[in-house]
Amino acid sequence: MKKLLVTMLSLISISTAYAGDFFGSTHLVGSDIGQANIYGPADLEQVKASSLAIHGPLRFKNLEVAQTTHIMGPVLNSQDGKFGTLTIAGPFEAAQVVCQGLNVTGPVDVKSLSVQGTTEIIGPLKAEDSHLQNLIIRSDEVTLVNSVVNNILVKATNNKEQTIYLQRQSVVEGNINFESGRGVVEVKDKSVIHGTVTGGKIARK
């Protein structure tokens, strides 16, 4: 009976304080949900949580999670998020996101992303108007547009070449290291590398 009631509540928009489990398609608006687990697709607007785990796809607008967030599914068409550590198993497409640490297994396409700690990605990355500290990535392609990164470590893949594209005045404050030894950094639009490139070459356009 309790699970049935929670399921019914999760299918409509609610504006209340709640902590616990949500089952099924969940749409929350203006809620403080504490420590929450959502089993199914989630659509969260103006929601605050202390920690959050979602087993399914997520769309958010104005979502704030103080501690850990785990998403087992794609995060698409989302904006305005503030997180502690954010872990995603699936594609990540969002704008205006701030987090302490980011870990994504899947392609990443972000705008105005700020990560204060380490960013770890398995999959291609495109970041625009973003600021990252240390980026650790396993991918054949990284595109930075008007973005700043401290250091970049590119893990090896099976492809012959791995490429980082620095566009529109992007800046790498420190070093770039390609573990494979088959890296290329394509630098254009007044982009700058202040450190050194190891395991790859620079191609200026």
Question: Which structural domain range is residue 188 located in?
Answer: 107-205
Domain count, the chain: 2
Q: Is 12 found in the same domain as 66?
A: yes
Tell me, what's the pLDDT at 6? 42
Q: Is 162 found in the same domain as 199?
A: yes
Q: Tokens 């987090």 belong to which residue?
A: 99
Q: Is 117 found in the same domain as 56?
A: no
Tell me, what's the pLDDT at 10? 44
What residue ranges of the chain have pLDDT lower than 50?
1-17
Q: 94-108 b/e with 16+ CB inside 10 Å = b? A: bbbbbbebbbbbbbb
Tell me, what's the pLDDT at 187? 97
Q: Is 111 found in the same domain as 84?
A: no
Residue 95 lies in a domain: no
Q: Which of 53, 88, 123 is the last residue of a domain?
A: 88
Tell me, what's the pLDDT at 9? 43
What's the pTM value of the predicted model, to 2 decimals?
0.89
Residue 102 lies in a domain: no
User: DSSP secondary structure string, 94-143?
Assistant: EEEEEEEEEEEES-EEEEEEEEEEEEEEES-EEEES-EEEEEEEE-SEEE
Q: Is 123 found in the same domain as 78?
A: no
Residue 99 lies in a domain: no
Tell me, what's the pLDDT at 159? 87
Q: Which of 26, 59, 88 is the last residue of a domain?
A: 88
Residue 120 lies in a domain: yes
Q: Enumerate the β-bridge partners of residue 169.
A: none
Tell me, what's the pLDDT at 160? 85
Tell me, what's the pLDDT at 17? 46
Please give the single-letter amino acid code of residue 120. Answer: E
User: DSSP secondary structure string, 45-93?
Assistant: EEEEESEEEEES-EEEEEEEEEEEEEESS-EEEEEEEEEEEEEEES-EE
Q: Is 11 found in the same domain as 54?
A: yes
Residue 132 lies in a domain: yes
Tell me, what's the pLDDT at 205? 80
